[in-house]
Amino acid sequence: MAVLTQGVVPLELTQAEVYQRVQENTLLNLSFWVNIALAGLSILLFVFMGRNVEDPRAQLIFVSTLMVPLVSISSYTGLASGLTISFLEMPAGHALAGEEVLTMWGRYLTWALSTPMILLALGLLAGSNMTKIFTVIVTDIGMCVTGLAAALTVSSHGLRWFWYFISCMFFLVVLYILLVEWPKDAEVAGTSEIFNTLKILTVVMWLGYPIFWALGAEGIAVLDVAITSWAYSGLDIVAKYIFAFLLLNWVVNNESTVASMADGLGSAQAGGAAPADD
């Protein structure tokens, strides 16, 4: 029986074996641990920075932003332990067809939790209405989940790229709200300056993810797995921790602006009226 199935059954590594492979690749392992350390430091710093924030909207921006390093530390612990990494055999047509490729699928899964938090914080800062916040969050989750599907599809090379295309379409909606809708709202809300800084940082960094996906082992494989992982880790450092620090530092110093912001949130509530300030 064992003889019959030899060469047919794909290589199934245990979690301990995946962990062992990660340990052997120092560069890859380091790309995880640097982020675990930075996420930990960010959590401590942001809790400290937010200790005196009292306005509910400013507090909501804080909670949502604080979730970013909290999800990140969990995400990278999953990768470092081998829990959220698989070795997948690439289909015919792929540059590494027939080879077992290390796939960090935990990244795509946890982006579905962290990126909505970034967008919620940005939407609150811009004074967005509920409709736009909802739209940006669901399309963003769509982007991450279909990106996960692209990485995990091993039956057909064409379908991997079709998933990638669907994910890019979701991404376009996110970009539209970030670049066209929210800047107008931020102007009305009086938060244009900080919003535009964070918008540029976000758009430039986020564009890097699909580019590195396409260049990495999951795409056309011109970049090695450890380099791709470092690219994501580097983007994460700016798109998450530096982004979060800039946003929270501004909120702490401008709490009264946040508290008195004219925003569209009330207009999406039942009856259309915003609740009175208490």
Q: Which residues bind ligand RET (CB under 6 A)?
A: 108, 111, 114-115, 143-144, 147, 150, 164, 167-168, 171, 206, 209-210, 213, 236, 239-240
Q: How far is the CB of 145 from ligand RET (least distance, A)?
A: 9
CA dist 71 and 159 (Å) reads 29
Q: How far is the CB of 108 from ligand RET (least distance, A)?
A: 6
Q: How far is the CB of 249 from ligand RET (least distance, A)?
A: 19
Measured from the CB atom, the residue of 62 and 171 that comes closer to ligand RET is 171
Q: How far is the CB of 267 from ligand RET (least distance, A)?
A: 29
Q: How far is the CB of 198 from ligand RET (least distance, A)?
A: 12
Task: Give 101's strand partners.
Answer: 88
Measured from the CB atom, the residue of 191 and 202 that comes closer to ligand RET is 202
CA dist 36 and 155 (Å) reads 33
Q: How far is the CB of 215 from ligand RET (least distance, A)?
A: 11
Measured from the CB atom, the residue of 182 and 209 that comes closer to ligand RET is 209
Question: Which residue has its beta carbon closest to ligand RET?
Answer: 147
- 3-state DSSP of the chain: CHHHHCCCCCCCCCHHHHHHHHHHCHHHHHHHHHHHHHHHHHHHHHHHHCCCCCCHHHHHHHHHHHHHHHHHHHHHHHHHCCCCCEEEECCCCCCCCCCEEEECHHHHHHHHHHHHHHHHHHHHHHCCCHHHHHHHHHHHHHHHHHHHHHHHCCCCHHHHHHHHHHHHHHHHHHHHHHHHHHHHHHHHHCCHHHHHHHHHHHHHHHHHHHHHHHHCCCCCCCCCHHHHHHHHHHHHHHHHHHHHHHHHHHHHHCHHHHHCCCCCCHHHCCCCCCCCCC
Measured from the CB atom, the residue of 195 and 232 that comes closer to ligand RET is 232
Sign of CA dihedral 73, 77, 80, 85: negative
Measured from the CB atom, the residue of 222 and 262 that comes closer to ligand RET is 222
Measured from the CB atom, the residue of 45 and 238 that comes closer to ligand RET is 238
Measured from the CB atom, the residue of 67 and 251 that comes closer to ligand RET is 67
Q: How many residues are recorded in the chain?
A: 278
Measured from the CB atom, the residue of 97 and 207 that comes closer to ligand RET is 207
Q: How far is the CB of 169 from ligand RET (least distance, A)?
A: 9
Q: How far is the CB of 248 from ligand RET (least distance, A)?
A: 16
